[in-house]
């Protein structure tokens, strides 16, 4: 069967795919090109995305809430994070999906197709779906190649969590400050903490999060969250309005090596999740701008999307955390107590100079980092 033929096919209509489609549909350079976005399920997901940026941003109209203050709490330290000129911003994925789907449909330039893609054949230049095959001159593919989990050469840990969106009778939250990490409820021998996004004094998303080589059972998160309410927030009086779970790979696996003349991997599948943090929202915006710049300059869309210097730093950091998972609290305490939030955000945004990188690295210095440096660099 011949099947339809497109200029571009975007596989996956999530954070990366929808944003790429939106930017293509808004750019006259791509006018008249036949483009499709294919997803097995276009329904709205229950996910919360946070990111930081300076001043006003592209997504401000969609924000649920933003904060100019944060907290970091460990056994030793209680750190007040004063963020300006940055703000920590929160978007519900459902709001983002709905708005972008509407906007892209309104532009009339991009076809939405519900199908599950199984593979891309480089000879026929077709993506084979369950329903049809789709030809294209280039594919943007957000499927995640699962082989990263088997790679012996690379380090993978998982950021996995469960969150409860709760309403309480008493006003127990401080809505002017979110909690980046609170290590007071501990899981043995692991990097695990509570993360809080407070909307009002009575309403918040409270998540128990691991950065660990292992995954865990659902009831473990529930127990840790129950403990946090009982021992830290000291209340039994709350109602769970919704729950959110997630597993994000934190890995130095080079997903971008799969980029070719025919295929550019995007999103998590392209290695756009920062290995040391699990964040990808802001990276997505930057990388899509780079893809469009590449295309307009006659380069392959997937060229130079990943900064190798920062990928090495991330690899060392991941190795330390994977080999010494029980030391996460100490490592993050040094990170947040010896550097300002502005220095941290600039470094995590991969905008720092080598001397600024060195300052951050020296703040984390320990023999574990030296060992991981030699393991990852040589």
Ligand X SMILES: Cc1cc2nc3c(=O)[nH]c(=O)nc-3n(C[C@H](O)[C@H](O)[C@H](O)COP(=O)(O)OP(=O)(O)OC[C@H]3O[C@@H](n4cnc5c(N)ncnc54)[C@H](O)[C@@H]3O)c2cc1C
| Residues found near ligand X in the complex (CB under 6 A) | 11-17, 38-41, 47-51, 116-117, 142-143, 244, 246, 248, 267-269, 273, 278-281
Distance CA 358, CA 142 (A): 34
Token pair listed for 9: 């096919």
Shortest spacing between CB 170 and ligand X, in angstroms: 27
Question: Measured from the CB atom, is 99 or 323 closer to ligand X?
Answer: 99
End-to-end CA distance of the chain: 50
Question: Measured from the CB atom, is 321 or 368 closer to ligand X?
Answer: 321
Shortest spacing between CB 51 and ligand X, in angstroms: 5
Name 224's Cβ contacts closer than 8 Å, sequence gap at least 6. Answer: 185, 187, 192, 194, 208
Question: Measured from the CB atom, is 128 or 338 closer to ligand X?
Answer: 128
Number of residues assigned to the chain? 378
Question: Measured from the CB atom, is 163 or 328 closer to ligand X?
Answer: 163
Shortest spacing between CB 151 and ligand X, in angstroms: 19
Shortest spacing between CB 50 and ligand X, in angstroms: 4
Three-state DSSP at 120 gives: strand
Question: Measured from the CB atom, is 36 or 324 closer to ligand X?
Answer: 36
At residue 123, what are phi and psi to the nearest 5 degrees? Answer: -80, -50
User: What is 270-307 written as a DSSP string?
Assistant: GT-S-TTT---HHHHHHHHHHHHHHHHTTS-TTTT-S-
Distance CA 245, CA 350 (A): 28
Residue 221 burial (C-beta neighbours within 10 Å; 0-12, 13-18, 19+): buried
H-run or E-run covering 7: strand 5-11
Question: Measured from the CB atom, is 48 or 216 closer to ligand X?
Answer: 48
Question: Measured from the CB atom, is 18 or 368 closer to ligand X?
Answer: 18
Distance CA 330, CA 335 (A): 9
Distance CA 45, CA 135 (A): 28
Shortest spacing between CB 93 and ligand X, in angstroms: 7
- Among candidate residues 135, 120, 162, 188, the one with its CA nearest the CA of residue 1: 135
Shortest spacing between CB 74 and ligand X, in angstroms: 21
- Among candidate residues 322, 330, 276, the one with its CA nearest the CA of residue 74: 330
Question: Measured from the CB atom, is 142 or 352 closer to ligand X?
Answer: 142
Residue nearest to ligand X (CB): 14
Three-state DSSP at 324 gives: coil
């Amino acid at each position: 069967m011949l099947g339809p033929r497109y200029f571009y096919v975007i596989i996956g209509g999530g954070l990366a795919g929808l944003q790429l489609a939106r930017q293509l549909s808004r750019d006259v350079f791509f006018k008249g090109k036949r483009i499709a976005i294919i997803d097995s399920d276009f329904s709205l997901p229950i996910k919360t995305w946070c990111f930081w940026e300076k001043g006003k941003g592209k997504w401000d109209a969609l924000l649920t809430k933003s904060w100019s203050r944060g907290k970091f709490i460990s056994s030793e330290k209680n750190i007040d994070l004063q963020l300006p000129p940055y703000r920590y911003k929160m978007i519900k994925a459902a709001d983002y999906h709905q708005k972008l789907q509407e906007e892209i449909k309104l532009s009339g330039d991009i076809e939405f197709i519900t199908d599950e893609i199984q593979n891309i054949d480089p000879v026929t230049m077709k993506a084979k779906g369950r329903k049809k095959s789709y030809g294209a001159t280039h594919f943007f593919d957000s499927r995640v190649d699962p082989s990263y989990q088997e790679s012996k050469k690379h380090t993978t840990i998982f950021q996995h969590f469960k969150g409860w969106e709760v309403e309480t009778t008493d006003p127990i939250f401080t809505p002017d400050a979110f909690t980046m990490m609170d290590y007071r409820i501990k899981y043995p021998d692991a990097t695990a903490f509570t993360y809080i996004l407070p909307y009002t004094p009575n309403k918040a998303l409270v998540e128990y999060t691991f950065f660990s080589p292992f995954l865990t059972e659902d009831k473990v998160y529930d127990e840790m969250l129950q403990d946090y309410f009982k021992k830290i927030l000291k209340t039994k009086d709350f109602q769970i309005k919704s729950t959110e779970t997630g597993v994000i790979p934190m890995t130095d696996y080079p997903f971008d090596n799969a980029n070719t003349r025919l295929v550019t991997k995007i999103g998590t599948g392209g290695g756009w999740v920062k290995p040391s943090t699990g964040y990808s929202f802001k990276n997505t915006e930057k990388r899509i701008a780079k893809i469009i710049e590449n295309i307009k300059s006659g380069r392959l869309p997937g060229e130079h999307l990943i900064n190798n210097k920062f990928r090495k730093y991330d690899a060392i950091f991941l190795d330390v955390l994977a080999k010494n998972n029980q030391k996460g609290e100490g490592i993050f305490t040094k990170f947040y107590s010896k550097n300002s939030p502005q220095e941290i955000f600039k470094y995590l945004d991969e905008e720092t100079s080598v001397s600024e990188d060195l300052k951050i690295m020296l703040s984390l210095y320990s023999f574990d980092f030296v060992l991981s440096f030699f393991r990852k660099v040589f």
